[in-house]
Structure 1
């Protein structure tokens, strides 16, 4: 099957690119039918509480708290089976949403999906490192994402009119079928990576992983800046969801935001892919984070659903680059034989912030404390602090691998 941009990919990576892109496009059908609507369905249809919204906010990263465990299990073994089977198990949960009639059950199922899917993250990083060449990786991944996002936009446009009331109980299981088909395509990528030492105990692996933050100061500052940036965003998410519903956002508006965001993301990937390959990840992340501060400030002034359109556009332009810069940033610092360990440490830190910040935000958004708009202002300030941290780290330290 011919896919867009394949002729721009180096010949040795072209077969992997095709299979990766087809997998991404099928996965985009799954995500387009589900992801933009999960929080709105939970709040507007199933009347989820602030705590349940906080759980949904932390769910995508909670499983990453176990990344060092997942990475240790994969050491010295082929990485592909871990990615394939965890994705199949996770995406099969969408079949069960046909029976989710309460907010608690719905939130629990979605949280389980994210938790199980997190097992694949260290394996996925190692596979991408293996199949795509250094110096071209972000650009190639950007091409794949353009194809993926194009499908995502089309599917979201259709799904936004289908997901009224409890129709999610029909649509989500259908999404699961496409998700599993996506896994089968990815599994066809030729990958033999079995890096790492399987004889290393979990205790030693975790200890060595934690020592990375002590022994690699450049990576430590990189992680610190991203930790603060992510903490601010996770803290604001429950208030953003609740405030959006209060000003009239429903599944149709959520679908529109997602379409607008994904549409500009398609164009942005062409820019960020090459830009990220040419520059240090700290500089890229600092630029993206500084611009991202406009998003919580947009919520401060928004009083109608249409006033959140700038947030959709900004998140689309920057979201494309943030995904690539995080990924390439870890590979920038990690020695070739420790990629899964570095990625596991990075994901564990993401999990910690993602599990604490939403609950803190859910508490602070109460009227007697900061209120929703107060939380947005604090989030914007923390994001700017993260920019300063990235700049300091970049000026003081370089990658131990490149030095």
Structure 2
């Protein structure tokens, strides 16, 4: 996204039809959408349809939902501190699984990306099936955490390799808009799936054991369909990858070299580490606080941690996508990051004062923040990388996300446990810590954006 040559037109609402029986893709109904390049118009509906199927599986694997399942379903079979630790691990799993990004990039470097993405999608869906078999015991708790991590490791590989596919298939000036449209469908289905499972758990607390296998089946269908997906200029992309890294392998030393020599990417990654750490510890803390401090129902917890944010994400993603199409990622983060600050400014008094309505409002704002955050997270590295180094830069980004995803939720829950040990009820104040990290990151993004503009 570094060279800004062209800007996208304002995106119009889109209508999507499923493929016909002959397997042909439907026409795009919006007139403005016809302004997209022909290849993008052809490939985008297929990408949306496949992601829609996979989104149902991922709805079952949302960290907030699994956190509620662990906290409520296994609280009687393990010590509270261990259950809270498990909550931190499953809610952090979507992020910390990204530590495997460099390994996935290395395995698929110079090879057909779609085959690898298909296999990883199938592994993710299979893990969801395994989660449904966890017995209600301490061993079952370990089993659930293990397969949640396995599912998210697989999906981290999908994200890493799919970034190169999207870069090849979708031109820069419409990439964020197209990604945003994919994210809308994806987020709506995840939200609906998570809410449906939450409602079913109100009827029977073990209902998730039936819904998880059903979602896994759709994920396997998505994996099968992705094997036939087209990558524009695939031969050129594979040659560029091989030429860019000599032996055709992405090594840890390559990542270190990028961070050493690319000043602006290093600054971006450092700021994202501080800023993202604050965001990544929030969901685990919300599950623990809503359960232990406020005694909120399972459905309400799922709504606050998963469904409401994702519905807001779907509604506001097109707005952020139009903005990201026009500006550098640093300018984008300098404005967007304050949405996360506003989120924390609602959650902190909500926890301290025990006001559930502040959590509901905070969930809406968090969804608006996620809308922009997900786009920036998927596409921001392109403002620093060439085509041949896109996968390497994305691998660095998601690997660092994985490191903070491993550390941040555990630190947050550990701090909560310590505060509660000093005086029961004091754990409500724990959200002040992630608020401070988020605020520091937002301020730093503003400074970096100004410095970048001065340099150029």
| TM-score of the two chains, using structure 2 as the length reference | 0.81
* Map of 2:40 onto structure 1: 13
- The alignment status of 1:64 with 2:98, answered yes or no, reads yes
- The alignment status of 1:45 with 2:73, answered yes or no, reads yes
- Offset, 1:199: 5.2
8 Å CA contact 2:271, 2:444 repeated in 1: yes
- Offset, 1:395: 2.9
Matches within 5 A, 1:114-153: 114-153=152-191
CA distance in 2, matches of 1:20, 1:211: 33
Matched position secondary structure for 1:196: helix
- Farther-moved stretch of structure 1 (343-352 vs 183-192): 183-192
Superposed CA offset, 1:72-101 (max 9, x none): 222222221221111211211111123202
Gaps in structure 1 of 5+ consecutive residues: none
- Offset, 1:138: 0.4
Cα RMSD of the aligned pairs, angstroms, is 2.5
- Offset, 1:368: 4.1
Matches within 5 A, 1:327-338: 327-338=378-389
- The alignment status of 1:358 with 2:396, answered yes or no, reads no
2:310 counterpart (262, 287, 290):
262
- The alignment status of 1:85 with 2:122, answered yes or no, reads no
8 Å CA contact 2:290, 2:301 repeated in 1: no
1:296 counterpart (337, 344, 356):
344
Q: How many residue pairs are counted as aligned between the two chains? A: 400
8 Å CA contact 1:19, 1:185 repeated in 2: no
2:196 counterpart (158, 161, 170):
158
- The alignment status of 1:316 with 2:367, answered yes or no, reads yes
8 Å CA contact 1:20, 1:185 repeated in 2: no
- Farther-moved stretch of structure 1 (262-271 vs 362-371): 362-371
8 Å CA contact 2:197, 2:207 repeated in 1: no
8 Å CA contact 1:146, 1:267 repeated in 2: yes
Superposed CA offset, 1:224-265 (max 9, x none): 111111111223443222001121333311343333323322
CA distance in 2, matches of 1:317, 1:63: 24
- Farther-moved stretch of structure 1 (63-72 vs 368-377): 368-377
CA distance in 2, matches of 1:296, 1:220: 26
Matches within 5 A, 1:170-319: 170-191=210-231, 192=234, 193-194=237-238, 195-197=240-242, 200=247, 205-246=251-292, 247-257=294-304, 258-302=306-350, 303-319=354-370
CA distance in 1, matches of 2:247, 2:103: 12
Superposed CA offset, 1:19-75 (max 9, x none): 111012112222334425211011011226121112113311233223222212222
CA distance in 2, matches of 1:151, 1:76: 33
CA distance in 1, matches of 2:187, 2:29: 14
| TM-score of the two chains, using structure 1 as the length reference | 0.91
Matched position secondary structure for 2:251: helix
- The alignment status of 1:97 with 2:142, answered yes or no, reads no
- Offset, 1:361: 1.4
CA distance in 2, matches of 1:12, 1:51: 47
* Map of 1:372 onto structure 2: 427
